[in-house]
Amino acid sequence: MTEPLKEMGSSIRSKYDEDDTPASFTILIRTSSDSCSDGPVEKISVMIRDDDGRATDKQALRYSHTHSTPFQKGHTDMFVMTNQPSLGPLTNFEIHYDGHKEPLGTPWKFHTVVVFHHENGRVYNFQTDEKQSSECVSVLICKDDGVQAMPIKLRDPFF
């Protein structure tokens, strides 16, 4: 019997360091050029899950760091999640359509979702998993184990 997925993260303690530093994630979402120009009519929230089933808090994406109006046709928006529970390697990304219950992709469609995991320095690319998705939630799965974007530990260049 599989354990049910947790709604919230399990702890704020880092999996990677011996401190209580909360985790951070940078999220890039590219809106499809097939999407309507008005953006989503409902509130968009996201959750990120790791290989142990732990999850970030469900966070609404309201303010893009790259555009004054998020989710516009053909734009890539950057969002940052901070003060989140520490996660291991990422496996799932959930997009929750809060508010109006409209079929997926109407009127807003995403093209690409990329997440940078600040703790382990990896970049994860996600693709839609139609089997796990529903009318209110798009579930995306990681395409790979993540690309190492930052060295885990740099050597001292003077020794």
Digit-coded pLDDT (tens) for 56-106: 999 998 888 998 888 888 889 999 999 898 898 999 999 888 765 554 445
What average pLDDT does the chain have? 76
Question: The tokens of 48 are what?
Answer: 């990120």
- Determine the pLDDT at residue 96: 87
4 confidence band (pLDDT: 50, 70, 90) = very low
38 three-class SS = coil
- Determine the pLDDT at residue 42: 63
DSSP states along 64-87: -SS-SSSS-TT-EEEEEEEEE---
The pLDDT of 13-23, averaged and rounded, is: 60
Q: What percent of the chain has pLDDT over 70?
A: 67
Burial classification of residue 94, based on how many CB atoms lie within 10 Å of its CB (0-12 exposed, 13-18 middle, 19 or more buried): buried
Question: The tokens of 123 are what?
Answer: 């970049």
Q: Which of 113, 97, 5, 6 is nearest to 44 (CA)?
A: 97
111 confidence band (pLDDT: 50, 70, 90) = confident
User: Which residue in this structure is represented by tokens 């994630």?
Assistant: 25
